[in-house]
Amino acid sequence: MQQLLKNLPKEEVLRYLGYRGTELPQKLSELIDECIHTTLNTITPRYLYRCFPLTKTDSGIQVGDTPLVLPGKDIQDHLFSCESAYLLCVTLGLPIDRLIRLKMVSAPDEGVIYDSCASTAVEALADLVQKEIEKEISATGKNITWRFSPGYGDLPLTIQRELLNVMDCPRKIGLSLNESLLLTPTKSVTAILGVSDTRADKRENKCDYCNNRANCAFRKRGTQC
């Protein structure tokens, strides 16, 4: 998977940095290119995914025969037409976290760029794995929903710990959770993708579930995170 991330779209890095249609000074453009190159050589991408049957219960959606239950109306709306779902976990590894922390202290401007590069990279990795899942189920004539992550809408972050345990993430890909319920390494993504005969999500994208929708800087610029 690391070999598949041969490049990062510069426009996505600029989007995370808050640039939109602004001409960049040459030095800044060259610095961003350098940071992209270094990011690609620093990340250690790893991922897991697995499909589980779903059962609707009074306390939420039961994931297979595991202890993981997905509570809340928003995830029920998202999976309303799904009898199964994939759990997806991806991470860029600890080295890029260390580089970002170092640069934030020694060269804050570069640190911000590296953070944007890593955010772009982890989303690119999640997109690649999602395409792999789509290819896997294409022969069945089914579709998958967009990625719904813990913390969206009323799906609490507290389910992260059980999700990581179910997927055996600490052992298999070195992905864990700290006491503040933040993923470690930080440049990581967990998500739920429903498997459906249709693509009929009740809401079309993750912005509809976002608790920060009203104050989102990306939406104010006409984009998404």
Q: How far is CA 170 from the centre of its chain?
A: 17
| 162 assigned to some structural domain | yes
| 3 assigned to some structural domain | no
Q: What confidence tens digit (pLDDT) does each residue in 5-47 have? A: 889 999 999 999 998 777 889 999 999 999 999 999 999 999 9
| 5 assigned to some structural domain | no
| 94 assigned to some structural domain | yes
The whole domain housing 205 covers 10-220
Long-range CB contacts for residues 96-104, cutoff 8 Å, separation at least 24: 96/39, 96/42, 96/43, 96/44, 96/121, 96/185, 96/187, 97/184, 97/185, 97/186, 97/187, 99/38, 99/42
pTM: 0.86
| 120 assigned to some structural domain | yes
Which residues touch 9 (CB under 8 Å, ≥6 apart)? 120, 124
Q: How many domains does the chain have?
A: 1
Q: What confidence tens digit (pLDDT) does each residue in 143-184 have? A: 999 999 999 999 999 999 999 999 999 999 999 999 999 999
CATH code, domain carrying 42:
3.40.109.40
**Among 202, 170, 188, residue whose Cα is nearest residue 121:** 188
| 198 assigned to some structural domain | yes
| 4 assigned to some structural domain | no
The Cα 41–Cα 34 span in angstroms is 11
| 122 assigned to some structural domain | yes
- Total residue count of the chain as it appears in this document: 225
Phi, psi of 108 (to 5 degrees): -55, -35
pLDDT at 148: 96
